[in-house]
Amino acid sequence: MTEPVVRVSQLHKSFGDNEVLKGIDLDVTRGEVVVIFGRSGSGKSTLLRCINFLEEPTSGTIEVGGVRLEPGPRTHRQREAIRSVRIKAGMVFQEFNLFPHLTVLENVIEAPVTVKGQDRAHSVAVAEELLAQVGLADKRDEHPIRLSGGQKQRVAIARALAMEPEVMMFDEPTSALDPELISEVLSVMRSLATETQMTMMVVTHEMGFAREVATSMAFFHEGLIVEQGPPGQVIADPQHAQTKRFLEAVL
Amino acid sequence: MRERLEQWSADIPFKVKLGMVWGVIALIVVFLFSLADFDVQWMLDHLWFIAQGLPWTIIICGLAIILAVTLALFGALGRLSNSAVAQGVTGFYTSFFRGTPLIVQMFLIFLALPQLAPPNLPGLRDSLTLTALQAGVIALGLNYGAYMTEIFRAGIQSVGHGQVEAAEALGMTYRQRMRRIVLPQAIRLIIPPTGNEFIAMLKDSALISLLGSVVAQMEIFRRAQLVGRADFRPLEAFVVAAALYWILTTIFQVFQAKLEQRLSTGYVRTLRVSTQPGVELVESEPA
């Protein structure tokens, strides 16, 4: 086994008195696709948001691509460490969060040019490739408002990929989509996993996608991972009563 | 009779009616002025002198709005920051300049500021002694900057949290986020009220006349006062001044409306000329 790309140890997160994560340990190795599922409020999204410090964990450590992070005051060094983790961990949001004042192409090249200082022409070439990969090459000069939800999410995926992350984190990427638009996003994610062997952490309720693509599934319940294993095992033969109950409800 | 009048009225386009109302008002005004010994010739003779204040009014407001926008930007960022220093300084600034009259601020900067210099430092005293124009620009800029801090703050806050998070998740620093993502979006909401502030400032710049200034640098109202009082023709002089301000503000309102239209890119679905032959216009629809 190679070194994990993401290593989460004893991660705790409380919002006031409400403890949302109660000690999460999770390793994601290169090329793995971990599907994280569980009831809403079980802490799945919070885990992703703690990994790139959009939420400051209460305690515990995060390691992404060899950079270790612990919660603490935002000193210059801490801010830079957080930034380097964010650059290594791409994130796709439920609500897409494309930049509405920029065109599709500009959305994709923004961070490579601004954050990484990449050459613009090179970034444009890469962005065009990525847009072709998500099937939106012809939309490069449109503004996001002219795109459907599925198209927006595919642009958001291309935008995150443009930073050449070591891991892609998907926070319920299809939950805000109309049913008929879900499959186009899932198929992009599927080819990302199977064709480019991207390391992925996916919070989703799409069990079909999980069964097909996941190398591992983690079931969240009340701030803990109560069950984890390959999809064949977790879906076919859940060990924990809560997992069983959840799967019965969604399948 | 009433019925017929209403019938007749219904056939006239609304815009024509509106024009007629304005015309009637103009006629009444002209009539009143003709009763009041209104010296048109005097007005025409002095129009040029008063109008020479136009560039000064515009320069004063141009410089002051640049100062105000700069202060408002940093003021807003300060008020939204986590730093006690930034919040304290900007809070004090906006509280003082919004809480005291503009005219008092003008006199503070023009007449009272030099007094702050210790008597044994005449050099400092000299450099704190400003011309009426300089003091006016600084006072206008400080005052409007304080009000516009709130405009900028609201604009920045209106940019969704998701935008900030997306930028953060891509590894952007605070500065990159503000410059590349938040401010370009906030500007859309900031420009219309800023335009209003600028128009209000055009009018408030008349207060500078109270500081007195050398003839070469006089703005509209100071010039109007000067000739109007000298010749006992205040009506003619101030009508000219009022007209000039009115024209100025109207021009800027039109300009502002155009700008607002341009800023809506990416927010309003627009009609586009199709590149396909045979199709003139296509309404953009998400595929």
Q: Using the 8-state DSSP alphabet, how is residue A118 labeled?
A: -
Is residue B101's pLDDT more than 50? yes
Cα dihedral B5/B11/B17/B19 (nearest 10): -140
Q: Mean pLDDT in chain B?
A: 88
**Is A22 within a domain?**
yes
Q: Do A98 and B166 touch (CB under 8 A)?
A: yes
What's the average model confidence in pLDDT over A53-80?
A: 95
Binned at pLDDT 50, 70 and 90, residue B273 comes out as very low
Binned at pLDDT 50, 70 and 90, residue B122 comes out as confident
Residue of B163, B170, B187, B189 to mutate when probing chain A, most A C-beta within 10 A: B170
ipTM for the whole complex: 0.94
Is residue B231's pLDDT more than 60? yes
**What pLDDT, on the 0 to 100 scale, is given for residue B268?**
57
Q: CB-based contact (8 Å) between B260 and chain A?
A: no
Q: Do A87 and B171 touch (CB under 8 A)?
A: yes
Query: Do B244 and B224 meet the contact criterion of CB atoms below 8 Å apart?
Result: no
Query: Do A199 and A160 meet the contact criterion of CB atoms below 8 Å apart?
Result: no
Residue B88's CB is within 10 A of a number of other CB atoms, namely: 11
- The upper half-sphere exposure of residue B197, i.e. CA atoms within 13 Å in the direction of its Cβ, equals 26
**What pLDDT, on the 0 to 100 scale, is given for residue B76?**
96
Measure the CA–CA gap between A77 and A110, rounded to whole angstroms: 24
Q: Assign residue A3 a region: left if phi > 0, alpha if psi is -120 to 50, beta otherwise?
A: beta
Q: CB-based contact (8 Å) between B185 and chain A?
A: yes
Determine the distance in angstroms separating the CA of A171 from the nearest CA of chain B, rounded to an integer.
12
What's the average model confidence in pLDDT over B204-223?
A: 85
Q: Do A83 and B267 touch (CB under 8 A)?
A: no
Q: Which of A79, A100, A110 sits opposite B267 (nearest CB)?
A: A100
Binned at pLDDT 50, 70 and 90, residue B287 comes out as very low
Measure the CA–CA gap between A150 and A156, rounded to whole angstroms: 10
Determine the distance in angstroms separating the CA of B247 from the nearest CA of chain A, rounded to an integer.
34
**How many Cβ pairs within 8 Å bridge chains A and B?**
78
Nearest by Cα to B234 from B37, B83, B84, B82: B37
Q: Assign residue B219 a region: left if phi > 0, alpha if psi is -120 to 50, beta otherwise?
A: beta
**What pLDDT, on the 0 to 100 scale, is given for residue B165?**
97
What's the average model confidence in pLDDT over B180-185?
A: 95
- CATH architecture designation of domain B44-264: Orthogonal Bundle (1.10)
Is residue B103's pLDDT more than 90? yes
Q: Assign residue B202 a region: left if phi > 0, alpha if psi is -120 to 50, beta otherwise?
A: alpha
Binned at pLDDT 50, 70 and 90, residue B257 comes out as confident
How many domains in chain A?
Answer: 1
The DSSP annotation for B14-49 comes to HHHHHHHHHHHHHHHHHHHHHHTT--HHHHHHHHHH
Residue with tokens 């503004």: A143
Binned at pLDDT 50, 70 and 90, residue B265 comes out as low
What's the average model confidence in pLDDT over B24-47?
A: 90
Domain at A37, CATH number: 3.40.50.300
Q: Which residues of A touch B (CB under 8 A)?
A: 52, 54, 79, 83-84, 86-87, 90-91, 93, 95, 97-102, 110-111, 114-115, 143-148, 151, 159-160, 163
Q: B14 vs B10, B11, B21, B22, B25, CA distance in Å?
A: 9, 9, 11, 13, 17
Nearest by Cα to B220 from B235, B203, B199, B196: B203
Percent of chain B with pLDDT over 90: 60
Give the chain B residue whose CA is nearest to the CA of A83: B171
**What pLDDT, on the 0 to 100 scale, is given for residue A189?**
97
Measure the CA–CA gap between A56 and A70, rounded to whole angstroms: 9
What confidence tens digit (pLDDT) does each residue in A192-224 have? 999 999 999 999 999 999 999 999 999 999 999
Q: Which of A95, A98, A115 sits opposite B171 (nearest CB)?
A: A115
Residue B87's CB is within 10 A of a number of other CB atoms, namely: 14
Give the chain A residue whose CA is nearest to the CA of B283: A146
**What pLDDT, on the 0 to 100 scale, is given for residue B73?**
96
Determine the distance in angstroms separating the CA of A203 from the nearest CA of chain B, rounded to an integer.
16
**What pLDDT, on the 0 to 100 scale, is given for residue B114?**
86
What domain range includes position A185?
4-97+168-250
Query: Do B252 and B260 meet the contact criterion of CB atoms below 8 Å apart?
Result: no
> Using a CB-CB distance cutoff of 8 angstroms, which residues of chain A are in contact with residue B165?
54, 93, 97
**What pLDDT, on the 0 to 100 scale, is given for residue B127?**
85
Q: CB-based contact (8 Å) between B165 and chain A?
A: yes
What's the average model confidence in pLDDT over B155-174?
A: 96
A101: CB partners within 8 A, 6+ apart: A143, B184, B185, B188, B265, B266
Binned at pLDDT 50, 70 and 90, residue A113 comes out as very high
Q: Do B266 and A147 touch (CB under 8 A)?
A: no
**Is A103 within a domain?**
no
Helix H or strand E encompassing B153: helix B132-158
Give the chain A residue whose CA is nearest to the CA of B82: A74
Q: CB-based contact (8 Å) between B262 and chain A?
A: no
**Is A18 within a domain?**
yes
Tell me the torsion sign for CA atoms A45, A48, A54, A57. positive
What's the average model confidence in pLDDT over A223-244?
A: 93
Six token digits for residue A175: 């939950």
Q: Do A100 and B168 touch (CB under 8 A)?
A: no
Q: Mean pLDDT in chain A?
A: 95
Domain assignments of chain B as residue spans, ordered by start: 1-36, 44-264
Taking every pair of Cα atoms in chain B, the longest distance, rounded to a whole number of angstroms, is: 85
**What pLDDT, on the 0 to 100 scale, is given for residue B285?**
41
DSSP bridge pairs for A97:
none
Q: At what angle do helices B220-230 and B53-79 cross, to 10 degrees?
A: 140
**What pLDDT, on the 0 to 100 scale, is given for residue B267?**
63
What confidence tens digit (pLDDT) does each residue in A2-45 have? 679 999 999 999 999 999 999 999 999 999 999 999 998 889 99
Helix H or strand E encompassing A63: strand A59-64
Q: Tell me phi and psi for residue A75, to 5 degrees.
A: -75, 175
Q: Do B266 and A144 touch (CB under 8 A)?
A: yes
Q: CB-based contact (8 Å) between B265 and chain A?
A: yes
**What pLDDT, on the 0 to 100 scale, is given for residue B150?**
94
Is residue B258's pLDDT more than 90? no
**What pLDDT, on the 0 to 100 scale, is given for residue B2?**
87
